[in-house]
Amino acid sequence: MPEEFGGDLAGAEFWGADLHGALFRDVDLSGVTITHARVVDVEIDGYAERLVVNGVDVTDFVNEHDPWYPLRTVLQPPDPDGARASWALLTEAWAATVERARQLPATALHESVGGEWSFVETLRHLVLATDKWFGAPILGSGFHGVGLAHRSAQTFDFPGVDAGADPTLDEVLAVRAEQGAALADYLTTLTDAELTRTVDVLENGPHAVADCLFTVFEEEFWHLRYATRDLTVLEQSR
């Protein structure tokens, strides 16, 4: 089994390293320099700001052809107004995706594509992510029973989460609607001072409110990407 590396590798240097077939996920590559390298059959999916390849700045070309670029740019808003706008855009995008999903048979929304979470499981994970990074630390609320932890955290005891839950799409969406309303209400009075307040996140420790909101936004974005990708497969198989 390949080794896994995590944590702080900022400033590290890799000389003569064989990284073919490696996976870089949820990493910060800001300021990275790659030289004397073979870049063959490489896929990069991320926010691009000043991306230079072989001396050619390809940033504008990449972003102009990336249909997800408008949402990518709002995941770390600089101020309360930006946070409110970000949540509105993410909410709108998810609403359209749910309507698209409803066109499929209910059983299809419980199907895995390529070993990934089903559509319903994806929404259940977002329930838990929102509870973990917003509801519990910021509002002081509890965890909803339908939440689903990431595979690496499924041995962690999230209070109130039912590991054996098997909810319907509508049951999960009802929880999502409740969470979304609470977050939207909270954002209406969000201030710059509140963004800097430190809260304690279960399993992850102290974080600024801004970091918690950014995590919620990123979870919403990336799982929207995954869900959309898998819906396309499900639609084509019908």
pLDDT surpassing 60 at residue 1: no
Q: Which of 237, 235, 236 is nearest to 104 (CA)?
A: 235
Q: Output the average pLDDT for the chain.
A: 93
From CA 237, how far away is CA 204, in angstroms rounded? 40
Q: Between 150 and 227, name the one with better pLDDT.
A: 227
The whole-number average pLDDT for the span 3-23 is 86
DSSP state for residue 155 in the 8-state scheme: T
The whole-model pTM stands at: 0.88
CA atoms of 98 and 153, how far apart (whole Å): 26
Q: What is the per-residue pLDDT across 20-66, written as a single tens digit (0 to 9) for each?
A: 889 888 888 999 998 989 989 999 988 889 999 999 999 999 999 99
**Cβ atoms of residues 75 and 47 within 8 Å:** yes
* Residue 111 to residue 121: CA distance in whole angstroms: 9
Question: What's the pLDDT band for 117 if we cut at 50, 70, 90?
Answer: very high
Question: pLDDT tens-digit profile of 164-219?
Answer: 899 999 999 999 999 999 999 999 999 999 999 999 999 999 999 999 999 999 99
Domains and CATH numbers, the chain: 1-69 (no CATH), 74-236 (1.20.120.450)
Query: What's 11-46 look like in SS3?
Result: CCCCCCCCCCCCCCCCCCCCCCCCCCCCCCCCCCCC
